[in-house]
Structure 1
Amino acid sequence: MRQVFDWIGRVLIVSGIAIAVAQLAEARAQPAPLQFGVLPNLSARVIVESYQPFRTYLERRLGRAVEIVTAPSFKAYHANLMAGKYDLAVTAANLGRLAEIDAGHHVFAIYEPPIPGIVAVLRAKQIKSPAELRGKVLALANPQSLVAMKGMEWFAAQGLHAGTDFTTLHARNDDSLAQVLGSGEAPMAMMSLGEFRAIREELRKDLEILVEFVRVPGFLALTGNHIEKSLAASIRDAVIELARHPEGEEFFRRSGFKAIRAVEQTELATLDSVLAETRRLMSQP
């Protein structure tokens, strides 16, 4: 009888080892989650909520887990992008073009429509003209963004130069911009229309748009230069076809974007005039 129990015990042990080995092999066979980087132009909360349908769609199309990741700042995000930490990434047009030229990543799509750049003010202040910024403070959350770069050019065309005619204040995020206006630290804040809309309603209701000064190209989507060509092609096809699926409709509803389409190299070349300034801004401490 003891021999029988010993034999049964050995069988159970061997079976347990076999099951464990099989489970380990299965776990190893599962690909690592796809790293989907999203530019931190909005708070992490808003980004995750907006991109959840996009993530669900990609997981279904690609048959693997997808993680939405971002970073604390434009600079940190861009550093991660240049280092190849994202398999799929969405970033500002100037930063995407820079990642293509300087790091060899592959830009394949652009978000629509173009992004409006605006100046917002506190409604109660009754500010009527950008000229009222002279000698005061301009708040902005993302000084390395294309909207901010074009905004500084626009203010300069109005005879207002940063560092000479006004100073700048860096706010942490979209809600912080509203709080800076409300506290009186700055009479004006420069941002994209998307950032303005992302401000919580209880804060945004006290603000108004003073002027829309530019429309810049939308965000660019790119694949990292480190991923296999077949995976990159699958990602590109999935992203371009997003609008045909229910998850795409929900993503566009939540985010305010209207479409994601293939981008031409001739379009990307129009961004080259701002690359030197972009490099300078990204290299600053």
Structure 2
Amino acid sequence: MISRRTLGAGLVLGALLRTGPSLSQGADPDTLKVALLPDESASTIIQNNQGLKSYLEERLGKRIELVVTTDYSSMIEAMRFKRIDLGYFGPLSYVLAKSRSPGIEPFAALVSGGKPTYTSYLIANVNAGIAKAEDVRGKTVGFGDPASTSSHLIPRGLLKNLGLEAGEDFKFQHLGTHDAVARAVEAGNVQAGGISRTIFETLVERKLIDSSKVKVVAESRPIPNYPWTLRGDLTPALKDKIKSAFLEMKDPAILKPFKAEAFGPITDADYDVLRETAKLLNIDLTKVKG
């Protein structure tokens, strides 16, 4: 005679066995939530990316919901708790997200100038007496957000490699955005600053800063570009379709909001340069507010 306990256990095991195959195969949601960088107003970002939405719906055969979180930190948390399925991160923000959600996978990075990399500049006020990076000794350097790749981590690492320690050999201030750094350097409020090469060139081109007052004194080594990431627990077939959709994306109208020529393949190992730089600077990435 079978006891109620044995019968109950058998029913639970049967339920687990019935659901086991689908769980092991991964998630395959009808609607994919795609998170975009919160670097403009949410309405503007969503409007500018309607082409991406339509393209992905056609390629993947799924409904696409575009999501713009309030900031990088909330985007990282949304990926961590699987409230989004795909996310477009900044390089350092991706590293922070990966440290908190090991299962997420980078699969494509922005390509510009034919490469899935970009660089950071160290710029200086022309009247600050800075001809090369080493000349910031005794000066004040402006960095962007602490979680910024090209406006903080990389330029600070560049100076560290030259034997210059932030807070000891030079003073520094966190100014938030890249353009705030450029304006502070132009005005002489700080003598030098870290900024993305692409952003600096755009500011100069649009005459938002006076190029006669600011000069480039150093350029970093290549940095892996902004990555697209996905949840690691999606089905292998869905992952393959998503990767193909991005790597085969050719429409300039869809790529324009990203200032991209295309998206190229990339892996987590490509971002080790950021982890190594953080280690060099004794920065605990688990304590960086991303």
TM-score, length of structure 2 as denominator length: 0.68
CA distance in 2, matches of 1:268, 1:76: 21
Moved more, 172-181 or 111-120: 172-181
Moved more, 114-123 or 273-282: 273-282
Asked if residue 115 in structure 1 is aligned to residue 118 in structure 2, the reply is: yes
Alignment partner of 1:242 out of 233, 246, 249: 249
Aligned to 1:89: 87
Aligned to 1:179: 183
Aligned to 2:7: none
CA distance in 2, matches of 1:180, 1:154: 20
Query: How does 1:174-253 map onto structure 2 within 5 Å?
Result: 174-199=178-203, 201-206=206-211, 207-225=214-232, 227-243=234-250, 246=251, 249-253=252-256
Aligned to 1:140: 143
Alignment partner of 2:160 out of 151, 156, 160: 156
The percent of aligned pairs where both chains have the same amino acid is 19
In structure 2, list runs of 5 or more residues that go unmatched: 1-28
Compared with structure 1, are the counterparts of its residues 109 and 279 closer, same or farther at alpha carbon in structure 2 (3 Å cutoff)?
farther
Aligned to 1:262: 265
SS in 2 for 1:204: coil
Write out per-residue CA displacement over residues 235-260 of structure 1, whole angstroms, 9 at most, x where no aligned residue. 222112112xx2xx234455443332
* 1:119 CA drift (Å): 1.2
SS in 2 for 1:57: helix
Give yes or no for contact 1:181–1:187 (8 Å, CA) kept in 2.
yes
Higher CA-based Rg: 1
TM-score, length of structure 1 as denominator length: 0.69
* 1:135 CA drift (Å): 2.4
Q: Which has the higher helix share?
A: 1
Letter in 2 for 1:111: L
Compared with structure 1, are the counterparts of its residues 43 and 198 closer, same or farther at alpha carbon in structure 2 (3 Å cutoff)?
farther
Letter in 1 for 2:81: A
Give yes or no for contact 1:120–1:209 (8 Å, CA) kept in 2.
yes
Give yes or no for contact 1:151–1:213 (8 Å, CA) kept in 2.
yes
Aligned to 1:168: 172
